[in-house]
Amino acid sequence: MAIGDRIQALRKQHGWSQQQLAKKIGTSGPIAGRYERGEMTPSVEVAKRLADTFEVTLDYLVDDTGRTAEIRDKAMLQRIMEIQALDTEDRKTIVTVLDSFLRDAKARKAYASQ
pLDDT in tens, 25-73: 999 989 999 999 999 999 999 999 999 999 888 888 887 665 544 566 7
Burial category of 10 from C-beta neighbours within 10 Å (exposed 0-12, middle 13-18, buried 19 and up): buried
Find the CATH number of the domain harbouring 62.
1.10.260.40
Residues 63 and 81 in one domain: no
**Domain interval for residue 28:** 3-69
Q: How many domains does the chain have?
A: 2
Residues 19 and 48 in one domain: yes
pTM reported for the whole predicted model: 0.57
Q: Which helix (H) or strand (E) holds 32?
A: helix 29-37
Residues 64 and 95 in one domain: no
Instruction: For residue 24, give the nearest of 59, 58, 55, 50 by alpha carbon.
Output: 50
Residues 58 and 106 in one domain: no
